[in-house]
Structure 1
Amino acid sequence: MANHNHPYPPVELAPEGQLATVAIGDLATEAGAVVVDTHIAYRRWGTPKGDLDGKNNIIIVEHALTGGTEANDWWCEAIGPGKALDTDEWCVICTNALGSCYGSTGPASEHPDGGVWGSRFPAVSIRDMVHAEHAFLDALGIGRVHAIIGGSMGGARVLEWTLLYPEQVDYALVLAVSARASAWQIGIQTAQITSITQDPDWQGGDYHGSGRTPDAGLAAARRIAHLTYRGELEIDERFGTSSQSGENPLGAFREDGQRFAVQSYLEHQGTKLTKRFDAASYVILTEALNRHDLGRGRGGLNKALASSTVPTMIVGVDTDILYPYHQQEHLSRNLGNLLAMAKLSSPVGHDAFLVEARQMDRILRNFITLTHETPSAREVAAERGAYDI
């Protein structure tokens, strides 16, 4: 490994595929709060090669809202030997976002002063998550990465990376997200948050260890969210107006136990999430998406996008209800350094970037090829410097 001018000796990378956490100290949030003794969890596949402060083979993959570090699982067709993100060639690192519940510091984590963070955990923004990741890479002794890739909330983090730390990212791939939260997104996401915070078991956010968890609220939030993750066509084709097997939703009086098939499906999705995700993390991360706005403090959206120097590929889904394709078109028209634009064509909707393996394989391979063929902003600047003698 190369020598580094970092304040601390670099942390050794965890064994391949193993969950590990890195301490990054106290983190001041954009809004003025402090997350003390912050830790960021991660997994990695492949071996780092090259100069960790210069040209190397490191690719950061950013997860979506309720995702975790096991990118080789939720993106199993994309990451691994011989796959588009070939771990024989690349070192792929996936962190867990600040505020999540899969190893990084969040509301369900132990508080240094005792107990669980709970309601003491502050609101965080997408920028706060990126500052935390930057500190994490610094702790590992990594000063620069070949590329950062992410979809949905992960894509929002990628966009912020390109504006906060452009000199440390050679290339970026942004999937199924917008330059800022739209009023519609804030509206539907606030409805999800309210489902949780109005559950009597929420207890002001201090339910951890009480024996009562706001599962009903979290399940309701997920039912709303899931409708925005899937395409209207796909849901209708699968369920239409069918009744759930053995039930009759067309009786003389409406009954909770007499459901349409789609209702049963959404209830299943909601229950499934309550078994694997923390409600307070769901609130924190959804609120971060509400606060997503690249233009804040940067002279407005288009000025912020125009200032971007990192070669960035934008991908959208033609049937995305949550982040409609016109939002990716807006990004591609205004980004200062557009590498390419691609469209995922799928009835599935927003989740297509996780589901459409063949199309994603083509897009990812194309992106990797473009990163080999296109000079990075740093290389362009160095070349210009050479001619300025």
Structure 2
Amino acid sequence: MPIGERQTNNMLHLSLDVWRDQVFFHSRAYPAGYFANGIMNAPLDEVNALLDQSNRIAAMTRQLHEAQREELSDLLPEAKRAVSALLDGLRRYPPYCLMSRADENEVLDVIFSDASVNDISKQDSPVREFFFRYLAAAVMIPWGIYNFLCGAWFLELNYLRRLKKRDETHFAVAAHDCFSSESFQKEMRELTHSGYEPFTVMPSLRSSYVFARSPQNKKAMVFVNRVLFDHIIDFYIYDLMNGLHCGHAPSKCLGCGKFFLTTNAHTPKYCDGVSPQNSKYTCRQYGALIRQKEQNENHPVYALFKTRTNTIRKHLERKKISPALRAAAITMAETYRDKALFDNAYAAAGYALDMELANLYAEAERRLE
């Protein structure tokens, strides 16, 4: 079977298949550290909304514990809505965005149905035990996310971001220094409800081996470590540590401010997502463009661009061209400039020709038609 098949992933349990520097979730491969990095982009206001939902479910759980059979029928619909709203919120983030909501809805429909009332009301019923385990998971998951984020953000900001080299050795030293520091321990102790799903460098997990087809050779079989988790914070912490072990780590993009996963020893400052400053470029491309502009004002590409745009502005001042033509010509010049900066062949052969005033004006007029 392929790696990642027949996993158990739901509100109560999560699993990862680990092979080399990859993890597999529902048969799909991701670089180690992918899930920890992904949740680090959760906005704090959205996480706080999940915590509010957790508190509502916790209050309902206390009521349900004390409710008699007659009261349960009235309380179950409201509790179901609260859990369903929590699931909607969780589906914005990995791994929940990769799980079947239909399967989870089936669980909700069964355990919150009128048919379950009798069993839930019996103190020694397995259905009652499962019901309250499910509610406990719903309460704890937002706190697991919150506590993990506080620990992971602290590590990235105060230790990983300062590294000159990003490999296993440097990550190991950074993680050791961070997690053993008094400032980190103090930060974790001061978290609200720190007793819920506390951050720990020793996540609780169970591990076994499964046998699967090699992703590199379908005729070969490989040993795959299947790791199982009962708590979401253990899932994220394991993925973070496994990523660091493989030389993968989160890094905050200087362009868009989102975390992205580095998978080599380089120290990139920008991700490959769309730049918020200019959607024509990725953050990496835009960062390179700005850096080159700042460092190379005398670069031949910029020199020609500056000469042509100065002439275009003078033509406007002398009323030789219209404001619309001036704006269109400047836009074309910027397009050719950026293309030349990213394409050496074009810079050497076609850039100067396209930047001739006659050609700029002709193309600008064509686009204004």
TM-score normalised by L of structure 1: 0.28
Query: Relative to total residues, which structure has the larger strand share, 1 or 2?
Result: 1
Query: Relative to total residues, which structure has the larger helix share, 1 or 2?
Result: 2
TM-score normalised by L of structure 2: 0.29
